[in-house]
Amino acid sequence: MQIKKETEVACGGVPTAVQLEAINAQAKGKLTAEQVYVFCLRLCDDQVDRDGERFDTAALPELAKLFIGKTGIVDHKWSSDSQVARIFATEVVKDNGISYIKAWAYIRRGGHADEVIADIEAGIKKEVSVGCAMGRAVCSICGGEYGTCGHVKGERYDGAVCSAILKEPMDAYEFSFVAVPAQRDAGVLKALGSRRCLKELAEEFGAQAEYRALYKQAQLGMQYQQLLGDEVVRLCLTLSLGIEEPVLRSIVSKLGAEDLMKMKSALQERMEEMYPVKCQLPGAGALGDGMESDFLI
């Protein structure tokens, strides 16, 4: 899944000798300290963000490595001259129980880049949008794959707020500087490509009725899955499989609707074998010839 987050430029200035060496490992030409401007940024941390997601702390070192060599572009323009910055070093920093990826990037001074540097110095290009691809999102409540377990980000379950934990870093993308004017307007936020929830989009595009209908259907789907789970548990208990109810419930909570349906029909078959249903009324074959002849004139 594609992940996009906003962050901030933290500091800037002239590179140290060690930094310059790392920069020259990335740069094609040999650059001098005077030719480059260095700044650092906090790429992402392991805290729950406004999307109700957080990066797995254990995934940060791998993700940090993926960001090395990635370029920074201005306002999502993909022309080569807008690729002004490049990350040359990253590290995972632990601060007050929070782990985050700190990155150092450089900009080659001169021409168009000087405007960007001036903007960073002035705090105008303070915000940075970063993107990456993560292989898995896991539910913080049950540990199942997020999106299949029925728990919803931001909702409360027995006092714990559900969040999606992003694991298995796959790729890191270019980052982009975003000019942040004193007054933020919706246009800038949209350009960030920030992830917005379906409800907000439905409101913006006048699709509330459709959204509500879909929401209702989804709720019904979840209720159906719950009923299926209950039925599977009931069948298992009736068949005395020797599995305790809490264990059954735990197993069932991890299954999707399709698996539950398969389980239910398999258990029902077993039920019918063990306790065949006896029909109260005689079948057609059981009727004697004499009975039918009663109606013959």
Number of other residues whose CB lies within 10 A of the CB of residue 60: 23
Length reported for the chain: 297
Stretch that binds Zn ion, among 149-157, 191-199, 235-243, 289-297 (CB under 5 A): 149-157
Under 8 Å between Cβ of 243 and 236: yes
State in angstroms the smallest separation of the CB of 145 from Zn ion.
8
Q: Which one of 5, 108, 125, 151 is in contact with Zn ion (CB under 5 A)?
A: 151
Cα-only R_g, the chain: 30
Member of 63, 116, 149, 267 binding Zn ion (CB under 5 A) = 149
Residue placing its CB nearer to Zn ion in the complex, 40 or 139: 139
CA distance linking residue 223 with residue 69, whole number of Å: 48
Between CA 224 and CA 211 the distance in angstroms is 20
Question: Smallest distance, Å, CB 140 to Zn ion?
Answer: 8
Instruction: Provide, rounded to whole angstroms, the least separation between the CB of residue 73 and Zn ion.
Output: 37
Number of shown-chain residues binding Zn ion (CB under 5 A): 6
The end-to-end CA distance of the chain, in Å, is: 77
* Site map 114..143 versus Zn ion, x via CB under 5 A: -------------------------x-xx-
Q: Which is nearer to Zn ion, 117 or 137 (CB)?
A: 137
Shortest distance (Å) from residue 4 CB to Zn ion: 23
Residue 189 or 222: which CB sits closer to Zn ion?
A: 222
Report in angstroms how near the CB of residue 139 gets to Zn ion at its nearest. 3
Q: State in angstroms the smallest separation of the CB of 249 from Zn ion.
A: 14
- Least distance between Zn ion and beta carbon 150 (Å): 6
Apex 8 CA angle, 5 and 14, nearest 5: 135
Instruction: Give 130 or 137: the residue with its C-beta nearer to Zn ion.
Output: 137
Minimum distance of Zn ion from residue 151's CB (angstroms)? 3
Candidates 148-156, 214-222, 230-238, 265-273; binding stretch for Zn ion (CB under 5 A)? 148-156
Interface region with Zn ion, contact rule CB under 5 A, candidates 47-55, 146-154, 170-178, 265-273:
146-154
User: Taking CB under 5 A as the rule, does residue 252 contact Zn ion?
Assistant: no
Task: Determine the interface stretch with Zn ion among 19-27, 30-38, 144-152, 204-212 (rule: CB under 5 A).
Answer: 144-152
Binding footprint of Zn ion on the chain (CB under 5 A) = 139, 141-142, 144, 149, 151
